[in-house]
A and B are shown apart, each in its own frame.
Chain A
Amino acid sequence: QKEVEQNSGPLSVPEGAIASLNCTYSDRVSQSFFWYRQYSGKSPELIMSIYSNGDKEDGRFTAQLNKASQYVSLLIRDSQPSDSATYLCAVNSLYNQGGKLIFGQGTELSVKP
């Protein structure tokens, strides 16, 4: 089982819709959870971090964490064509190699005008 799993996509949504991106992880002691956005050929950039169960909202983005189910998701409301990118889920455990961040393979999102 991969440590962090995401559907590779592509996930296609129309402009203005809600995009829902999902991620599961295998290490129960994971403590920190991140969503990075990566445009083609560019470096990953952090868009959300979440550390406790529940929802965290930042503008059009909402991260949801359920540690019991080992599941983290990202909702993008009012999706825009500029949101088209690959979204990387990353999970960290302080007990793993000095707090190594483990990345999923990413979900490619395409927002159609």
Chain B
Amino acid sequence: EAQVTQNPRYLITVTGKKLTVTCSQNMNHEYMSWYRQDPGLGLRQIYYSMNVEVTDKGDVPEGYKVSRKEKRNFPLILESPSPNQTSLYFCASRSSSGANVLTFGAGSRLTVL
């Protein structure tokens, strides 16, 4: 089944404790992206990647890092999480050709205390 898989789905952590949210897709998509979703603010792009070793900032990159060492994986790293990073996070991917349709992962709900 074609899908985007995120882990963990739920996480409660404390300020300053580094964490990584993994994202993997099995559709051979070139483009991958991370979004956060907050009430009243909608979906905001954090980082995106056009292909392996090619990443760039989105609209709200502060406090996040990403890497794209393999085509299928695009982990989101919070080096020193803070309470304002409490949010619902979505990873998404699409092919660079064709209809430009994003496929989303199931989401990761992160709480930083």
**A100 with B45: CB separation less than 8 A:** yes
Within 8 A of B (CB), among A68-112: 88, 90, 92, 97-101, 103-106
Shortest CB-to-CB span from A63 to chain B, Å, is 14
In the assembled complex, which residues on chain B have CB atoms less than 8 Å from the CB atom of A92? 100
**A100 with B48: CB separation less than 8 A:** yes
The DSSP consensus for interface residues of chain B is strand
Shortest CB-to-CB span from B74 to chain A, Å, is 14
Cross-chain contact of B42 among A34, A41, A99, A104 (Cβ < 8 A): A104
Shortest CB-to-CB span from A51 to chain B, Å, is 8
Does chain A have a CB within 8 A of B112? no
Taken together as a complex, chains A and B put the C-alpha atoms of A100 and B104 apart, in Å, by 14
**B43 with A44: CB separation less than 8 A:** yes
Does chain B have a CB within 8 A of A42? yes
Give the B interface residue count (CB, 8 A).
Answer: 23
| Nearest-neighbor residue (CB-CB) of A101 within chain B | B102
Cross-chain contact of B100 among A32, A45, A97, A106 (Cβ < 8 A): A32
Binary A-proximity of B75-113 (CB < 8 A = 1, otherwise 0): 000000000000010100000000111111111010000
Give the A interface residue count (CB, 8 A).
Answer: 21
In the assembled complex, which residues on chain A have CB atoms less than 8 Å from the CB atom of B31? 98-99
**A105 with B42: CB separation less than 8 A:** yes
Cross-chain contact of A97 among B41, B58, B104 (Cβ < 8 A): B58
In the assembled complex, which residues on chain A have CB atoms less than 8 Å from the CB atom of B42? 88, 103-106
**A42 with B101: CB separation less than 8 A:** no
**A43 with B104: CB separation less than 8 A:** yes
Taken together as a complex, chains A and B put the C-alpha atoms of A29 and B43 apart, in Å, by 21
A interface residues (Cβ-Cβ under 8 A, vs B): 32, 34, 41-46, 49, 88, 90, 92, 97-101, 103-106
Q: What 7 additional pairs, Cβ within 8 angstroms, besides A32-B100, A41-B109, A100-B48?
A: A43-B104, A43-B105, A43-B106, A97-B48, A97-B58, A98-B48, A106-B42
